[in-house]
């Protein structure tokens, strides 16, 4: 058994708690996770959440949880602005850390945390960030197809993540709309997933970006309705990018796309094959390959529920589809396996730092209205390529 | 009967010729179009095309055709670089003109042609450009929904036009890959459709753009295979834009999107409704509206084949779908109706000039790597809004 | 030039007339079809239709048309009850015949017509029935995949043709609802297409059938609304069948399927591959094959618009989709080619007679509430197989 | 806490065990389920399963589990042939029972069990059958639309459940292929789901049926490969039916439909609306309604993940989709709620008996090759309606 302390008691804490419970029933794990304690600022709400999630103990002091000798893993499910402090303390205390995404408010924090994780790693401590869509089986298949060369050199990727919960002017204010607590808006919350996924899929960092971001509603009522609060983040952000290897990329995020509930879509165009994926149909992967007579080619819908698909041997027979939450169970498995092996799991804090570096470049671009270099690897500053942005006749 | 002279004998000339033939069988037309003559540079190939298209007469001299007293309409289906000369001559001769898109190589030409059309119009001459996708019934329904306020204020549009005929390095060179003959590549050929459609749908011009364009293969074999020729246009071009009324827009064009054959997609997000369309399923329109209990909302697929749908009363019973070419028949109807009424049809040369103005802004942006104002209306230069490009917290 | 006389002036006559016009522009034909005359009972309406369809001459006497020496092809587009007389006269006069489907009211007629066509054929006369869906390129690809063994032995087929124009009780009466004029209802009108297509695709006749048919609304107003008339045909008819080679088949037809406008769907399950098709997306064919690692299998959507696809070399570039009517153009091509070659085209009158034989077995089954043998080939009566219908543990 | 004993240790036992674990984390339950013991014939495999599923105790004697005073619920996940004995004993011992579907091998057993459940119910004992698809939120919405009259009188339903795990001749024999252990094949295993769902959705029992069933491969190798065993059940079974209220129904089941992994599809045509559902996309419901201008009608895809949708308030934010297994969690909630309320939950044993009655009618029909009455309610024998099967012009 490996004892876990969850910090936070919101929606994400529930998702994690359920995953820790289910994972050992689905997979043969080297260690059996057990959530020992749930921590949150408000004692009453924390206790209520613990009770609902069948966690025996609750605490209103996360430092206590980190100090608890039984607890081996700190699972951080709090708003973004508290990540740095909690994670630092946990690593310093020699605890393994799973931190929800995005890792931090900015690159200063994420750089520091990545460095701390690296040091901690040398002492056998494992740290990972909760970009759970890496654990969608269909996206693991997609990655293999990209990495193994099956679809050839990648020429273009198109990614988008669209939601609609801010369409109405009356949609309530929350911490996610406050730049201080959330860092960024759609870009940070859902755009971070896209940036991480792109890197996961094609393993080719972005080199330069140009962005357009906006906020449609500037003041929103608090949940109680008693006052209006300032919205200080973007509710829509799109950007174009060129990767180091020259792939043309487009990214779109929005909380204003009426009718799109949680629509993360990925399209990758290679020289010999193409892929498409939609999170609202997360068991399906679209694959087009050019290895047939042209008269028989087409995008095929692979139902990613076969025992030979990633993660699926632990789940159900073919055709018995997974849901959104099951990606957290897969994530729990991978985290436990990493702890058991003492190996650093992906996405690492370094991976998450990369995401922050891109986010900052995008924000800079949106602020300044110009192409921006992604300063990665961050030890050196990469100038925009001379053909960065990039008229007809050029070739990036 | 109204006599037509077609200039050009390629794929587009075929599409037009068939449409002139069919239109009077489908619709009650005020005038019956008849193609009197087909003109083309090469006498043999022109004669062969005329014979195949059941056109009695062919000519290797387009000036003769314009000079022919019988001919009332000049239908220009030649490569882009010849449009300006032919169209100018036709208008000067008092002939009605239908010109294939894009209208011109550049804004200098399109401005001149638009002015000429305006003058000609005062003499009862009608001029139109062949952006035929305006004649897709589903897109006419989409426009009505946008214009009538059914979907509320438009907040975002996403448009793309993807093809894959240049994926292989061995795909042959053609005039479409030569900047001198074609003006631009994917941007001019298929991007022009997107720009025109966006304007048609939401009637809100683009104000500023930022683009990323590239060419993957720089030299391609001629059809005969005997030599390699330079590719001097983009084969992929994406751009972000902000409209005058503040809609956030993204546009993507590519000839490298493996598996996408002719995939023009449109998505429009309004405050009260959203739309989606795919040219590969051109009889279908997706509509989401917020006027139901949320539990029963969803994108609905309207099969646009009812007699009450635009153009459809002339066609077939419900469910009997139209094809790509039928949009040319619809276009022919609208052109003939305009001639009969002596009214200026849309898309006018002015509309087409607007498309060229946007294309040039996009090209400038791709060349210079920066946001560019769309200089429209072109009598004045609009500066980029101070919040043009547009960090979190701003509102365009 | 080959001169054609069309008998009938309704919706189908329009579809045929346009096809004769267009076919020679699309395909290189050995003979150029030309519609010389349109015949119909009512002189005024016939003349109006002829004018709309750009046919120079009209007639109110079809016998005159058959007697006309110029006319080489009689194209029969009248209600079903007149087919036998007109077709017989045309064949007797040595005219080539294209007859709309279904060929006849009953098997007595179709047997007689098939015999007449066989005799006429020995004199060089060609006869074909207008089951136009054989001319959908995607279904031609489907047939090849079945015939060439690509999908292995066929185990199951599921076909359906759903419409909704009779859902409302106020939908008006027409000749299609009268058993005397139409023979059967949904079964005869749209079910006949399914029966013909099944045979076209798998070349394996049905051996026995069991059916369920019904009529929901028994009296409907005439178009004028002045009176109610009796509906004497089925508006919904489903049947199960077993083919001679043991394929399990299901067929469903309905005019009551609200929201289904013209939804002909086909699914074929083979031992090594499966197919699916939907007429509302007629350019697409779904194909699943078992010749890949299972992790990469899936139904692929082939966009049947490549030059290498059947008929497509005459049409447009890849991705430029065909519509419903274009199948008539393809049909016209095949008919003309058959005439030019003096070869008997398919679907022959014999093929259409087979359809009638199945229809009658289905009607018998619906009337008597029992499995019925399909008496085909009709020279002998086939008993239902002892294991015809066919408990667990049996194998047909 | 309410203590549960699971009998069985296969795939279904896993699905149930995980659901008992998760349900109290998702929903506020009146009682917290806890699995006290897992029973199975083979002690080693049972112990291994218990360990994997985090169940503290295992047993090789199910009678012991029933006799265990702590255990309040017996959850039966064994092959069908053992249901009757175990369930009877459990009810006799006053235990609540959740039994996997189908309830029994035949109607004799199900009648007896339904009677026993009724008697037990009078003593406060609750019994339910695991037709879990009643717990798909989208299907609950579908039922409401049918029951509330939103789609008008139901005229037709089409249901199918297709799998492909028996396509290959080498697919191994299992107890599911043995009539003695399984009762029926595709019909009993997946067809039973369809029959139950149809009743759940439209609340209108089937009155008469006619079926076609078959077995393609008669001998299959055992898993070890050492011998061939007889397949004594159908691997494909289709039937047509007419409901008491006159709805025309078709049902198809197959284990030979290559490429269809677990494809349960439902289509319901009403006079004012239509529905469609596909289990492979279980979060989506298709709805067509006739309450709009015809030009704006279409099937809309409702993503059934809103808090106002059945069950969803306990789950995730909109757009975060459920998986197949989550239906078992919903089922666990409903069962616990029923136990807490002392109310008889649905589907009751009586509901499951109805399914068996239909199955037997279908089997009789397949054996005898004729329409069969569904003897329901089973206290009287209903003759086939005189217009049972049912020629053109009749109206059922």
Question: Tens digit of pLDDT for each residue in B221-260?
Answer: 998 888 999 999 999 999 999 999 999 999 999 999 999 9
pLDDT in tens, B271-316: 999 999 999 999 999 999 999 899 999 999 999 999 999 999 989 9
Give the mean model confidence (pLDDT) for residues C278-301.
96
Q: Which residues face B35 on adjacent strands?
A: B4
Radius of gyration of chain C (CA): 21
Contacts of D296 in chain B (CB under 8 A): 287, 302
Q: Which of A216, A259, A366 sits opposite B391 (nearest CB)?
A: A366
Contact C280 B319 (CB under 8 A): yes
The C-alpha angle D356, D360, D362, rounded to 5 degrees, equals 115
Q: Give the per-residue pLDDT at A4.
A: 98
Query: If you write DSSP's letter for every residue of D308-368 in order, what string do you get?
Result: TSTTGGGS-STT----TTHHHHHHHHHHHHHHHHTPPPSS-HHHHHHHHHHHHHHHHHHHH
- Output the six-digit token pair for D123: 């003593």
Q: Are the CB atoms for B25 and C54 separated by under 8 Å? A: yes
B to D CB pairs, distance under 8 Å = 47
Q: Are the CB atoms for C266 and C277 separated by under 8 Å? A: yes
Q: Are the CB atoms for A306 and A312 separated by under 8 Å? A: yes
Q: Which residues face A243 on adjacent strands?
A: A206
Residue B389 has pLDDT above 70, yes or no: no
Contacts of B210 in chain A (CB under 8 A): 210, 212, 240, 369
Give the span between the Cα atoms of D57 and D45, in whole angstroms: 13
pLDDT in tens, C331-361: 999 999 999 999 989 999 999 999 999 999 9
- Ramachandran angles phi, psi of D341, nearest 5°: -90, -10
Instruction: Using the structure block, give the residue that is written with the tokens 């879509």.
Output: A265
Give the mean model confidence (pLDDT) for residues A28-50.
96
High-pLDDT (> 90) share of chain D, %: 91
Q: Give the per-residue pLDDT at D381.
A: 38
Give the confidence band of B337 by pLDDT, cuts at 50, 70, 90.
very high
Contact B269 A257 (CB under 8 A): yes
Residue C142 has pLDDT above 70, yes or no: yes
Region at D152 (left for phi over 0; alpha for psi -120 to 50; beta for the rest): left
Contacts of A390 in chain B (CB under 8 A): 212-214, 366, 369
Contact C295 A301 (CB under 8 A): no
- Output the six-digit token pair for B32: 């019956």
Query: Which residues are CB-neighbours of B108 under 8 A, at least 6 positions away?
Result: none
Q: Give the per-residue pLDDT at C223.
A: 86
Instruction: Using the structure block, give the residue that is written with the tokens 């959203």.
Output: B274
Closest residue by Cα to residue D290 from C260, B132, A187: C260
Residue B396 has pLDDT above 80, yes or no: no
Residue of chain C whose Cα is closest to the Cα of A305: C295
Q: Give the per-residue pLDDT at D224.
A: 87
Closest residue by Cα to residue D216 from C393, C240, C203, C288: C393
Q: Tell me how close the Cα of C239 comes to any Cα of chain B, in angstroms.
A: 24
Residue of chain C whose Cα is closest to the Cα of D254: C156
pLDDT in tens, B36-69: 999 999 999 999 999 999 999 999 999 999 999 9
3-state secondary structure of C264: strand
pLDDT in tens, D50-75: 999 999 999 999 999 999 999 999 99
In angstroms, what CA-CA distances link D286 with A254, D33, D300, D393? Answer: 25, 35, 5, 32
Interface test with B, best of C11, C12, C280 (most B CBs within 10 A): C280
Give the mean model confidence (pLDDT) for residues B94-111.
97
Give the mean model confidence (pLDDT) for residues A24-53.
96
pLDDT in tens, A321-332: 999 999 999 999
Query: If you write DSSP's letter for every residue of C27-61 in order, what string do you get?
Result: S--SS-EEEEEEE-SSHHHHHHHHHHTT-SEEES-
Three-state helix/strand/coil letters over A280-327: HHCCEEEEEECCCCHHHCCEEEEECCCCCCCCHHHCCCCCCCCCCCHH
Residue of chain C whose Cα is closest to the Cα of B34: C54
Give the confidence band of D344 by pLDDT, cuts at 50, 70, 90.
confident
Give the mean model confidence (pLDDT) for residues D354-376.
96
Query: If you write DSSP's letter for every residue of A323-369 in order, what string do you get?
Result: -TTHHHHHHHHHHHHHHHHT---SS-HHHHHHHHHHHHHHHHHHHHT
Q: Is the ipTM of this complex over 0.90?
A: yes
Give the span between the Cα atoms of C332 and C350, in whole angstroms: 19
Give the mean model confidence (pLDDT) for residues D104-112.
95
Contact B261 C25 (CB under 8 A): no
Contacts of D283 in chain A (CB under 8 A): 280
Contact D295 B306 (CB under 8 A): yes
- Ramachandran angles phi, psi of B362, nearest 5°: -65, -45
- For all residues of chain B together, what is the average pLDDT? 93
Give the span between the Cα atoms of C307 and C316, in whole angstroms: 8
High-pLDDT (> 90) share of chain C, %: 91
Give the confidence band of C99 by pLDDT, cuts at 50, 70, 90.
very high
Q: Give the per-residue pLDDT at C292.
A: 86
Give the confidence band of D223 by pLDDT, cuts at 50, 70, 90.
confident
Name the interface residues of B facing C (CB cutoff 8 Å): 11, 14-15, 17-18, 21-22, 24-26, 28, 32, 52-54, 163, 165, 260-263, 279-283, 303, 305, 315-326
- Output the six-digit token pair for B367: 């060349």
Q: Are the CB atoms for A197 and A139 separated by under 8 Å? A: yes
Pairing mode of beta strands B263-270, A299-303: unpaired
3-state secondary structure of C340: helix
Q: Which residues face A34 on adjacent strands?
A: A3
Q: Which of A212, A218, A389 sits opposite B366 (nearest CB)?
A: A389
Per DSSP, D100 falls in state: P
pLDDT in tens, D139-188: 999 999 999 999 999 999 999 999 999 999 999 999 999 999 998 999 99
Contact C306 A287 (CB under 8 A): no
Torsion angle of the four alpha carbons C341, C343, C349, C350, in this order, in degrees rounded to the nearest 10: -160
Interface test with D, best of C392, C393, C395 (most D CBs within 10 A): C392
Give the confidence band of C110 by pLDDT, cuts at 50, 70, 90.
very high
Give the confidence band of A379 by pLDDT, cuts at 50, 70, 90.
low
Contacts of A363 in chain B (CB under 8 A): 391-392
Query: Which residues are CB-neighbours of D246 under 8 A, at least 6 positions away?
Result: C214, D395, D396
Give the mean model confidence (pLDDT) for residues B356-375.
96
High-pLDDT (> 70) share of chain B, %: 95
H or E, element range at A145: helix A137-147
Give the mean model confidence (pLDDT) for residues B386-396.
31
Q: Which residues of C211-228 are buried (b: 16+ CB within 10 A; e: fewer)?
A: bbbbbbbeebeeeeeeee
What is the dihedral sign for C-alpha D356, D361, D364, D366? Answer: negative
Give the mean model confidence (pLDDT) for residues C68-84.
97
3-state secondary structure of B294: helix
Give the mean model confidence (pLDDT) for residues A193-218.
97
- Output the six-digit token pair for C202: 């798998």
Touching partners of D (3+ C-beta pairs < 8 Å): A, B, C
Higher pLDDT, B334 or C381: B334
Q: Give the per-residue pLDDT at B387.
A: 35
CA C170 to chain centroid: 28
Q: Tell me how close the Cα of B290 comes to any Cα of chain A, in angstroms.
A: 8
Neighbours of A73 (CB within 10 A): 24
In angstroms, what CA-CA distances link B373 with A372, B377, C376? Answer: 19, 11, 74
Q: Give the per-residue pLDDT at C389.
A: 32
Give the mean model confidence (pLDDT) for residues C243-250.
96
Question: Burial level of B363, CB count in 10 A (0-12/13-18/19+)?
Answer: buried
Query: Which residues are CB-neighbours of B44 under 8 A, at least 6 positions away?
Result: none
Q: Give the per-residue pLDDT at D379.
A: 52
Q: Give the per-residue pLDDT at C388.
A: 35
Q: Which residues of D67-98 are buried (b: 16+ CB within 10 A; e: fewer)?
A: ebeebbbbbbbbbbbbbbebbbbbbebebbbb
3-state secondary structure of C26: helix
Residue C225 has pLDDT above 90, yes or no: no
Residue D378 has pLDDT above 90, yes or no: no
Contacts of D317 in chain A (CB under 8 A): 11, 165, 262
Give the confidence band of A384 by pLDDT, cuts at 50, 70, 90.
very low
Neighbours of A296 (CB within 10 A): 17
């Amino acid at each position: 058994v490996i004892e876990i302390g969850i910090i936070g008691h919101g929606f994400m804490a529930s998702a994690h708690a359920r995953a820790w419970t289910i994972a050992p029933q689905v997979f043969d794990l080297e260690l059996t996770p057990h959530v020992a304690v749930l921590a949150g600022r408000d004692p009453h709400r924390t206790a209520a959440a613990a009770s609902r999630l069948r966690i025996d103990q609750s605490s209103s002091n996360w430092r206590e949880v980190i100090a608890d000798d039984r607890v081996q893993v700190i699972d951080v499910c709090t708003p973004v602005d508290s990540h740095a402090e909690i994670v630092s303390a946990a690593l310093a205390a020699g605890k393994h850390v799973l931190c929800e995404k995005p890792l931090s408010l900015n690159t200063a924090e994420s750089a520091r945390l990545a460095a701390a994780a690296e040091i901690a790693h040398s002492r056998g401590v494992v740290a990972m960030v909760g970009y759970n869509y890496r654990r969608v089986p269909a996206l693991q298949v997609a990655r293999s197809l990209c990495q193994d060369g099956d679809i050839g050199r990648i020429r273009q990727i198109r990614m988008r993540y669209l939601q609609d919960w801010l369409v109405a002017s009356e949609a309530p204010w929350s911490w996610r709309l406050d730049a201080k607590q959330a860092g960024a808006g759609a870009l940070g919350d859902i755009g971070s997933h896209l940036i991480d996924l792109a890197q996961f899929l094609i393993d080719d960092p972005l080199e330069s970006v140009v962005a357009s971001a906006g906020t449609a509603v500037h003041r929103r009522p608090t949940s109680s309705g008693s006052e209006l609060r300032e919205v200080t983040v973007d509710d829509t952000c799109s950007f174009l990018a060129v990767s180091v290897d020259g792939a043309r990329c487009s990214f779109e995020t929005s909380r204003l796309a009426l009718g799109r509930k949680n629509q993360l879509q990925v399209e990758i165009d290679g020289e010999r094959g193409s892929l498409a994926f939609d999170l609202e149909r997360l068991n399906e992967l679209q694959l087009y390959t050019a290895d047939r007579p042209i008269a028989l080619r087409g995008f095929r819908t692979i139902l990613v529920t076969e025992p030979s698909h990633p993660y699926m041997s632990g789940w159900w027979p073919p055709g018995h589809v997974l849901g959104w939450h099951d990606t957290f169970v897969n994530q729990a498995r991978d985290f436990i396996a990493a702890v058991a092996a003492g190996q650093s799991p992906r996405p690492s804090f370094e991976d998450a730092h990369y995401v922050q570096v891109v986010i900052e470049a995008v924000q800079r671009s949106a602020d300044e209205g110009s192409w921006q270099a992604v300063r990665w690897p961050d030890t050196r500053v990469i100038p925009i390529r001379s053909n960065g942005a990039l008229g007809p006749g050029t070739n990036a």
